Amino acid sequence: MLEKLDDLFTSFEKALEEKLLQADVLNLKSEYLGKKGKVSEVLKSLKDVSLEEKKVIGPRANELKEKMNQMVAKKLSAIEIAEINEKLAKEKIDITNRESVQALGIKSGGYHPATIIQREVEDIFLSMGFDILDGPHIEDEFHNFEALNIPADHPARDMQDTFWFQKPTGENSYLLRTHTSTIQVRGMTSRKPPFKFIAPGKVFRCERTDASHEMVFHQLEGMMVGEDISVAHLTYFMKTVLKEIFKKDMEIRLRPGFFPFVEPGFELDIECQVCKGKGCSVCKKTGWVELLPCGMVHPNVLEAGGIDSEKYNGFAFGLGLDRLVMMRYGIDDIRHLHGADLRFISQFRTY
Amino acid sequence: MLISIDWINDFVKTPDMDPGKLGEKFTLATAEVEGILTSGAHLTKMCVAQVLEFEKHPEADKLNLVTFEITGGEKRTVVCGASNVKIGMKTPFAPIGTVLPGGFELTPKKIRGVLSEGMLCSESELGLSEESQGIMELPAKAPTGERLDKYFKETPDVLLDIDNKSLTHRPDLWGHYGMAREFSAIFKNPLKNPFDEKWQKDLERNISGGNSPVKVKFDGDSAGIGYYGLTVKNIKVGESPAWMKKRLTAIGLRPINSIVDISNYVMLELGFPNHIFDRDLIEGDEVIIKRVGEETTFITLDEEERKLVAEDTVICDSKKALVIGGLMGGLNSGVNEKTNTVFLEVANWKAAQVRRTSTRLGLRTDSSQRYEKSLDSHLMKRTLLRLLELIIKLNPDAEVIGGIEYDGKEYWKDEALVKPLSLSKINSVLGTELKSEEVKEILESLDFHVKGDDPFAITVPTYRATKDIEHPDDIIEEIGRIIGYDNIASTAPKWEMIPARLTPAQALHRKIRDYMVYHAKSFEVMTYPLVGEKLYKNASWPINDDHLLLNALSVTQNRMRPSLIPSLLEAAGLNTKNYSEFRLFELGRSYLKSKDNFQDERSQLGMVFYDHGKTPFIDLCNHVETLLQTTNIPGELVPIHPKFKNPLISEDWGGIHPFEFLNIRVMGKMVGAVLSIHPVLLRKFKIKGHVSMAILDMTNFESNRLKDKTKYKPLPKFPGSKFDCTVVLDTDRPVGDILTSMKKIKIKEMDSFKVLDIFSEGDKKNITVRASFIDPDKTLSGEFLAEAQKMIMDNLSKSGFPLKK
């Protein structure tokens, strides 16, 4: 009987191997292991054998049955995986055919480089408690000149190449703002000291354009007003901000500069980043590059903003944002900034 | 402006330091030194050459190959075009590497195939005269090979090139004497004053007084403040002495004749302009300062005809105008070689008026540049006497006729400007801990007089008090710049902590940019706010002259744009050349004019989606809707409405696609639109393919904080139910109509009603819609659902959407 069982197992094993479909496997299973299956048939004659033999055959039969069940389960699972894989093979995709290899136009997006820098600078000032203000591009003479201590006939008006809408009258003719300093008065009249704010935005100059000159560009004005504000505070803020922008400690120097709305007025130079202060063609061999005008707010400007200049003072500065953009990315032509050419803009893609 | 250190040394000893360092010190304390030049530097490279032989250039008739000897018998050959070459002549030779006056650098170069080892120079090439013929002939006794600076006994001079802009506020720095005072203060070396009272008295001895041949008279109000005149006879106009020519040449002025040169020399020395007339060309016996009174023309000495207006001020004799006050003399009264008697003018003019005339005429002169800064009348007499001193020096026979004539303001009665200033204020503004003595020493080195001790009473020198120093803060600057701003340590202010945050508009703009970049896959661009008529014609977009510039640089950018749309169309046209598909946006302004305001600046978002193959309109609409939700703008897309017009786009604009247009309505107002551009208009911008645009004007709501309307509801405890049904529509009927009609049914348990599927079949389309029901309080009953489904189906068929059978 033992031989019979072993023969059955061998024939089962052989038959199972040949089966490829789930149904055939299940049929085979019931053919051998079902109630009326081949194994049961063999075991029917168990009652005719001796007790000794029973003790051997019984466990052996169970062992084989268990083994056969496992083989069936394994076979079924293999068939299922094969079936699914076959289906997956039919749905197979080309995993190299991603957007990045397709000529579909542009599937990415990005901020304008001026926005990137402006936001970065805004965030630095915001983190130090500066408000951010905005103002009109079309201004009057009062905000662009008079309030900033630049009366009519002042020689300093030569420094401003102003676009005019009307003939200058010395008071209320309209013009395109030549600097973001126009915000100073608007900022001062809308708040009480102490306060500090910045004002980024577009400014306009009536100037022939070339790779480094534009008639529309971006500036960022800053102002801080309170009691006992000093030149030492101004340099503190400038150093802090420049360190954040350039991501390292910056050597700066202040030298006298004339701007009617500040007194004392300064030009702030930074160490030339090309030659590290040794002197090169970029810095005209001086080791320094002019970066921003700044100074202590002129008492006439404070008064124009309705602030008691006996009690309060402050500092102000103007930062050329486009200059920073060009320095950061090594942009060779400022006219790209307003050119709306995606060949330029798409280089600043975010993803 | 060029400043000669040699000249400065007349008044103060400048320290013996590297010119670069000297310039840097001056930059940090006073005004920007843009460059440092050494005059006569070329002479140190050049030497005396003696011509040995010459022959014709093999390739050119007019050129010679000249061989000559320099130091120690060394020979050189150059190609030379001068016709006066002779064997044995002595002439100046400039080797390769010499930089000649005017900036021309000699580099190794072949001339018609022959290498020239430098150049034999003419007088004009050496800057010694205006014009010259042939190479310069030196005396036969000139030692061959001697360096030219030694031969000419020239000492090189260092010249500082100072940025004029940084002197805008300093009328006192437009002459060497004023500059010398700065060197004195910066380097703490005493300033010599050659123009003291003794000097003045000595010179006045030359003036006997009596009847002057030319008197001075103000006639009514004018640009004049004061006018000094003095007549001197027995003048010989000739060449100026070498020392004077050298100084003038060094700082870039052309020597003309001894009298004109004196006039210029004194201006460059003392910073005060003056004018010298030929007395015989003044008709009558007085000069009159007055306004022109009527429009007229005047020929200035540069031979240009100038149009004068009534308000301009001129100096006249009995018959004619002689000088435009503060600007330039006339061709009719200048000094010439026959002049024997001169009339010296030193006058002061009102800055604003000189500036106005100068700006109008487009005529900026050395005089007007100085007068514009507001000069000090107290300096007039010194200037006049210095002129006289030099005239006598160069013309020993010169003789003053009459006395010093003056008319004008009695400036000597003006009170001195005294400003109080406390030490604590100085230290507080600068952030320093200066002592009283330090402050006094600095101010006195700059000629301020300091009395008292905290607060000081500071008397401002008259030449700084015309406009430059008005406030105590101006005096603080003087102290700051002399101690050096580098010596002030940075410190953080002690301030209250005040949180700062973005304004609602700024936060909105940031959110929009983020959405557009990350979700709408768009690039941010900037276009010019200035536009021209041509673009608007091309875009068939109306334009007016509301914001036309008076002084535009070009017709393509001569006014402010009233809309972003034409600019964005242009940007689209530019980019279709390079891309088959793109998306871009701009957050910018357009500029309108309202009844009450000249400027009504609109804050707008413009979006452009371009696709070569298929219309991107639906994609754009989807993004606009999502953007509105993202930014909490309570807006929706609605079709053209007969009553509510869109103020941003006229319905008759030819650029509107007939079927792809929706208004953006926010809080009941049309504030934008999504549209595709008509192919006919696209053709004008050379665009093939499809362009859809969106425009949104945020001006009216961006300054409000837009609320996030998210409301949490507990999760449902009871199951909901869905109902699908399919209706049949004509192909060209919009599916949106079904949703619109469904809005009429009010079933509070109906959670949503959406299109599930669209399936076209011939000229019809089958639309499957799905309604979802839920009741938070109970399970929906079969009866309720049956009732609700019936209501929906009835409504659909009543509205013309029959159920599919």
**Cβ <8 Å between A163 and B490:** no
| Closest-CA residue to B467 (of A149, A317, A314) | A149
Residue A302 contacts B where some CB pair is shorter than 8 Å:
no
**B172 min Cα distance to partner chain A (Å):** 14
Q: Is the Cβ–Cβ distance between B467 and B351 less than 8 Å?
A: yes
Share of chain B above pLDDT 70, in %: 100
Give CA separation, B569 vs A108, B360, B421, B539, B627, in Å. 21, 41, 61, 8, 22
B 590-629 residues with CB < 8 A to A: 591, 598-599, 601, 610-612
- Mark which residues 528-547 of B lie under 8 Å from A by CB: 528-530, 547
Asked if A165 and B598 come within 8 Å (Cβ–Cβ), the reply is yes
Interface-testing mutation among B356, B526, B699, with chain A (most A C-beta atoms within 10 A): B526
Q: How far apart are CA A32 and CA B16, in angstroms?
A: 116
Q: What is the pLDDT of residues A158-196, one digit of tens each?
A: 666 899 998 776 667 899 999 999 999 999 999 999 999
Q: Is the CB of B166 less than 8 angstroms away from the CB of A129? A: no
Residue B659 binned pLDDT confidence (cut-offs 50, 70, 90): very high
Q: What is the mean pLDDT of residues B52-64?
A: 89
Does the domain at A113-348 match CATH 1.20.120.160? Answer given as no
Query: How far lies B655's CA from each of A132, B518, B539, B586, B751, in Å?
Result: 38, 29, 8, 20, 40
- Domain residue ranges of chain A, discontinuous segments joined by +: 2-90, 113-348
Look at residue B804 in the predicted model and tell me its pLDDT. Answer: 87
Q: Which residue carries 């100037």 as its tokens?
A: A207
> What residues have CB less than 8 Å from B167, skipping those under 6 apart?
A258, B1, B31, B173, B174, B373
Alpha helices in B700-781 (DSSP H): 736-742
What pLDDT, in 10s, does the model give residues A139-150?
999 999 999 998
Q: How far apart are CA B695 and CA B648, in angstroms?
A: 8
Q: Is A55 on the interface with B (CB under 8 A)?
A: no
| Residue B333 identity (one-letter amino acid) | S
Do B485 and A104 lie within an 8 Å CB cutoff? no
Alpha-carbon torsion (B797, B801, B804, B805), positive or negative: positive
User: Rounded to a whole number, what is the distance in Å from the CA of A92 to chain B's nearest CA?
Assistant: 27
pLDDT at A274: 83
Rounded Cα–Cα distance for residues B415 and A137 (Å): 44
pLDDT band at B459 (very low <50, low <70, confident <90, very high): very high
For residues B763 and B784, give the distance between their C-alpha atoms in angstroms, rounded to a whole number. 36
Q: Does A105 touch chain B (CB under 8 A)?
A: yes
The pLDDT of residue B60? 86
Please say whether the dihedral angle defined by the alpha carbons of residues B126, B130, B132 and B138, taken in this order, is positive or negative.
negative
Lowest mean pLDDT among B174-178, B214-218, B325-329, B800-804: B800-804
Q: Which of A12-26, A268-282, B411-425, B428-442 has the lowest mean pLDDT?
A: A268-282
Chain B positions in Cβ-Cβ contact with residue A104 (cut-off 8 Å): 580-581
- Among A307-316, B439-448, B754-763, the least confident range: B754-763
User: How much is the pLDDT for A160?
Assistant: 62
A191 touches chain B (CB under 8 A): no
Distance from CA of A113 to the nearest CA of B (A): 9
Interval B130-162: pLDDT, tens:
677 889 999 999 999 999 888 888 777 899 999
Q: Is A293 on the interface with B (CB under 8 A)?
A: no
Average pLDDT, integer, range B445-459: 93
Find, in chain B, the residue whose alpha carbon is nearest to that of A336. B526
Quick one: closest CA in A to B525, which residue? Answer: A340
Higher pLDDT residue, A327 or B349? Answer: B349
CB contact under 8 A, B575 and A132: no
**SS3 label, residue B177:** helix
Interval A8-36 mean pLDDT: 91
B104-113, B186-195, B405-414, B559-568: segment of lowest average pLDDT: B104-113
Q: Do B575 and A342 touch (CB under 8 A)?
A: yes
Q: Which residues contact B294 (CB under 8 A, 6 or more apart)?
A: B310
Sign of CA dihedral B70, B74, B79, B85: positive
Q: What residues of chain A, 231 to 260, have a C-beta less than 8 Å from chain B? A: 231-233, 235-236, 239, 253-258, 260
- The Cα of A90 is separated from the nearest Cα of chain B by a number of Å equal to 27
Task: Tell me which residue in A159, A231, A341 faces B575 most closely, judged by beta carbons.
Answer: A341
Nearest to B301 by CA among B332, B344, B256, B265: B332
Q: What pLDDT does A172 receive?
A: 73
Return the minimum-mean-pLDDT range out of B102-116, B354-368, B684-698, B704-718.
B102-116
Chain B CB contacts of A134 below 8 Å: 503, 505-506
Between strands B523-524 and B581-592, the pairing is parallel
pLDDT (mean) for A318-328: 93
CB contact under 8 A, B428 and A132: no
Instruction: Determine whether the interchain pair A106/B550 forms a contact, defined as Cβ–Cβ distance below 8 Å.
Output: no
> Do residue B502 and residue A132 have CB atoms under 8 angstroms apart?
yes
Question: Which of A18-27, B99-108, B340-349, B746-755 is predicted with the least confidence, judged by mean pLDDT?
Answer: B99-108
pLDDT tens per residue across span B12-36: 999 988 888 999 999 999 999 998 8
- What B626-629 contacts at long range (C-beta under 8 Å, 24+ apart), as own/partner pairs, is B626/B515, B626/B519, B627/B512, B627/B515, B627/B516, B627/B519, B627/B520, B628/B664, B628/B666
Instruction: Fill in the DSSP letter of residue B30.
Output: T
pLDDT digits (tens, 9 = 90+) for B292-343: 999 999 999 999 999 999 999 999 999 999 999 999 999 888 899 999 999 9
Predicted confidence (pLDDT) at residue B668 exceeds the cutoff of 80: yes
Quick one: pLDDT at residue B316?
A: 96
List Cα–Cα distances, B108 to B65, B117, B118, B119, B412, in angstroms: 16, 7, 8, 11, 63
> Domains in chain B, please, with CATH?
2-40+158-187 (3.30.56.10), 41-155 (2.40.50.140), 197-412 (3.50.40.10), 417-487 (3.30.56.10), 504-697 (3.30.930.10), 721-798 (3.30.70.380)
Phi, psi of B53 (to 5 degrees): -160, 160
With an 8 Å Cβ cutoff, are A313 and B430 in contact? no
Task: With beta carbons less than 8 A apart as the criterion, state whether B526 and B568 touch.
Answer: no
What's the whole-number average pLDDT of chain B?
A: 93
Backbone angles phi, psi at B218, to 5 degrees: -90, 130
